[in-house]
Amino acid sequence: MKHYFRSPWWAVFFIFFFPLLVVHSYVEFVRDSELNARLGWLLMVGGLAYLLRHTWLQKIMLGILALMALSGAFDILYASTFGGVFTSASFEAMALTDTHEGWEFLLAYASFANVSLLVFYVAVVTLSLRNIDFKTIETKRQRFFAGLGVLMAVVAVQQVYDRGRYFDVIPGFVGVGIDYARGHEGMAEIIKARQQLYATKPFSVAMSSTEPQTYVVVIGESMNRHHLQVYGYGRPTTPALQANQDSLLRFDNVVSAFAQTSPSLQVALTEANLQNKWSYDKAISLVGAAKKAGFKTFWISNQQPSRTPTTPLAAMADESHFISHDFKGVENHRYDGYLLPSVEKALSDPAAHKLIFVHLMGSHLQYRNRYPEEFALFNGMDGVKAYTDDLSSSQLQYINEYDNSVRYTDFILGKLMDLLKQQKQIAALSFFADHGEEVFDSKDFKGHGPDGVTKNMVEIPFLLWRNAAYQQAFPETDAVLQSRLQTPFMLDDFFHFGLCFMHIQSDLTRPVQSWCAPEFEPVSRVIYGRDYDKEWP
């Protein structure tokens, strides 16, 4: 029995799989690549061990194993303390903590469970690595495993080279760390380029009204408008929007230009659109244009803190806040409601002209992680409209969870509208989603993306709430908007809409592009190469 524990196989197995076991018992969602990468490492190191007897290579291998064990120790500590998997957002949060605080922080979170898990892991790893007994090849089976080890090493190198991503190949903390370091550098460059563009590109902007004004742009996530009661869905998913219908304009024919976050927001929030095909990094953003016009700009987000295009846009804002940092990068139980205090703070800022972006997590990916328990309101079949009447129980559960997340987004919108009602000055809020989501509406699929795209993945809600002061100050704009409720519009021109809606005059835009101007001319809406109005089924 004893010799099993001296085998390199045991050491590698324990170093890679004990952390995974801990992570699985603390974290609700773990990516498949964590298991795959660890299996790959087991075969690679276990096999290579036969070839490295008594050479300096053996020492290198022990060093690598020690490093991977350190990585495993971090994974254990992080999962058992915060209930999350290390991601680049965790690094982002850690980078903002100074080392002194970091130490205090560890002490504050030390518990019997996380300390004993850590001590056990480190003790077993140390014993295993010290007593490891490397063997030379004696049997056919050992030769086979040695060959497999070499093959896995080749596959690992090829995977990193091919995909340019380390976290798929190197599991846990180390892989994420390498990707973070590389991504961080790239992001810093993108931010710098955007600041330079803003400083050097000549463009004119001017407010046409000096009246104090507050605008809130709420960006939803993965919201299919057919799941909103306010758009005719048979379930009470949007009571707050229903209650505010007097001040609300509901646009029924708005689509996103893509079915994915990044490409959609790149064109929605900048002067780039599908017509001019400009590259995002050459295009001034709504944040930049409003800022130059004299608005104080805010970016408040529950999304990942290092991601294009939102991070570079947030960096342009006068103030930005990613609540991911307050949660040490952990996504579990991080609901959009935690954004509200930051929005309240922004609203109380003394600046006379404010533009506040609020980027929600909305209905992203794991629907059931997007709302607190008390919002788990839908659990039966009532009001469900799906591609089949014969839904499986897991499909129905996804639909219910999705509708709960929609209901929670409605709750957030209600709170935001309540906050704006306290403003005496001109105030308005717009709400749209970056793209839609298929939730077994038209086929046996849930999610979004360019492959197998459906109408539900691009048909998004677009709502405008504006107070009486706005309607009195800008009656012509308001009348135009009221006449546009059925007009076809694509989200890639939100930049132009925004400038027009906030009455910012600019040479970056023409009235024909501005949805709220009387001169607006609809253009064909070609999404993924097909005309949405003519060629989509």
* Binding piece for Zn ion, criterion CB under 5 A, among 5-13, 120-128, 242-250, 428-436: 428-436
Give min distance, CB of 456 to Zn ion, in A. 14
Give min distance, CB of 256 to Zn ion, in A. 9
Give min distance, CB of 134 to Zn ion, in A. 49
Nearest to 95 by CA among 2, 176, 207: 176
Give min distance, CB of 494 to Zn ion, in A. 15
Handedness of CA 507, 508, 511, 516 (dihedral sign): negative
Write down the residue that tokens 């290092």 correspond to: 306
Which residues contact residue 17 at a Cβ distance below 8 angstroms, ignoring those fewer than 6 apart?
38, 42
Cis peptide preceding 212, ω within 30 of 0: no
Interface positions, 16-35, toward Zn ion (CB under 5 A)? none
Q: How many CB atoms lie within 10 A of CB 112?
A: 7
For Zn ion, the closer of residues 401 and 434 by Cβ is 434
Q: What number of chain residues touch Zn ion (CB under 5 A)?
A: 3
At 25, the amino acid letter reads S
Which residues contact residue 1 at a Cβ distance below 8 angstroms, ignoring those fewer than 6 apart?
none
For Zn ion, the closer of residues 117 and 268 by Cβ is 268
For Zn ion, the closer of residues 147 and 449 by Cβ is 449
Contact string (CB under 5 A) for Zn ion, positions 239-278, x = contact = ----------------------x-----------------
User: 357 — phi, psi (to 5°)?
Assistant: -90, 135
Q: How many CB atoms lie within 10 A of CB 457?
A: 28
**What is the number of the residue whose Cβ is closest to Zn ion?**
261
* Binding piece for Zn ion, criterion CB under 5 A, among 72-80, 427-435, 454-462, 476-484: 427-435
DSSP string across 257-290? S-SSHHHHHHHHSBS--TTT---GGGS-BHHHHH
Q: At what angle do helices 172-200 and 56-82 cross, to 10 degrees?
A: 70
* Binding piece for Zn ion, criterion CB under 5 A, among 323-331, 343-351, 433-441, 499-507: 433-441
Token output for 515:
């949805």
For Zn ion, the closer of residues 267 and 293 by Cβ is 267
Interface positions, 211-230, toward Zn ion (CB under 5 A)? 221
For Zn ion, the closer of residues 29 and 109 by Cβ is 29
Measured distance CA(65)–CA(10) in Å, rounded: 12
Q: Does 308 bind Zn ion (CB under 5 A)?
A: no
Give min distance, CB of 221 to Zn ion, in A. 5
User: 321 — phi, psi (to 5°)?
Assistant: -145, 120
Give min distance, CB of 258 to Zn ion, in A. 9
Q: Does 438 bind Zn ion (CB under 5 A)?
A: no
Measured distance CA(19)–CA(25) in Å, rounded: 10
For Zn ion, the closer of residues 229 and 264 by Cβ is 264
For Zn ion, the closer of residues 336 and 434 by Cβ is 434
Q: Give the Å distances, CA to CA, from 269 to 165, 186, 437.
A: 28, 21, 20
Give min distance, CB of 336 to Zn ion, in A. 14
Give min distance, CB of 358 to Zn ion, in A. 15
For Zn ion, the closer of residues 173 and 367 by Cβ is 367
Q: Does 434 bind Zn ion (CB under 5 A)?
A: yes
Which residues contact residue 100 at a Cβ distance below 8 angstroms, ignoring those fewer than 6 apart?
none
For Zn ion, the closer of residues 296 and 359 by Cβ is 359
Give min distance, CB of 25 to Zn ion, in A. 30
For Zn ion, the closer of residues 413 and 458 by Cβ is 458
CA atoms within 13 A on the CB side of 384: 27
Kindly list the residues in this chain that would bind Zn ion in the complex (CB under 5 A): 221, 261, 434
